[in-house]
Amino acid sequence: MIHIGKPIELSHDFFDQLDHLYQVAYDEDSNIRKEVHQMVDTYHYDENTTHGIK
């Protein structure tokens, strides 16, 4: 099968968010999943779960 994709346009805001996400990851912030959720609408997580442990 051959799939032909279409590139998406990325805004400057996206790159600002990506820089922020990098900083959160570098700081090992426990809220990184919340930050990812703000960037990726389809990402879902349980706020009451920490590191996969309830």
Tens-digit pLDDT profile for residues 1-16? 888 888 888 888 989 9
pLDDT band per the 50, 70, 90 thresholds, residue 54: very low
Neighbour-count burial for 4-22, b at 16+ CB within 10 Å, e otherwise: eeeeeeeeeeeeebeeebe
> How long a stretch of residues is the chain?
54
Angle (deg, nearest 10), helices 12-26 and 32-39: 170
Tokens of 37: 């959720």
Total-model pTM: 0.60
Q: Looking at residues 13-34, what average pLDDT do you find?
A: 89
Q: Grade residue 50 by pLDDT with cuts at 50, 70 and 90.
A: low
